[in-house]
Amino acid sequence: MSKNVKKCVECGICKGNCPVLKSLLIESQSPRGRAILIKNNILNKKIIYNCTLCKACELSCPAKIELPEIIIQARKNLINKGEETKANKKMIENVRKYGNPYGKVGDKIPEEMYCC
């Protein structure tokens, strides 16, 4: 699972690009923080699921560590242990039941919809 995460030298260059860190401003929610935790086999649900998998850290990493791939693998491991988040469980349930992650669609569908 750690793939090439052991190559991380904790330089912190990845921190400048991470949208999650920019919002939460705590080291454990930075790409460097996640790499340190994964290297030490600490799979904290909140940390692993808060990553947006945007790959901004991967682009700036001097050691070319594919952290998003490693995070995806870490999520798989959490699911196998039955430790995924409630929100994730609900989302999967909704996709299976209603074909979308949000759940039952109301009678009236808005004419215009917005996304990020």
Residues near other proteins (CB under 8 A) are: 9-13, 15-17, 25-28, 30, 32-33, 36-37, 40, 42, 44, 47, 60, 62-64
Residue closer to other proteins by CB (options 40, 80) is 40
Residue closer to other proteins by CB (options 52, 100) is 52
Q: What tokens appear for 82 in the block? A: 């039955």
CB of 53 vs other proteins, minimal distance in Å: 19
CB of 94 vs other proteins, minimal distance in Å: 29
What whole-number distance in Å separates Cα of residue 11 and Cα of residue 50?
A: 21
CB of 5 vs other proteins, minimal distance in Å: 14
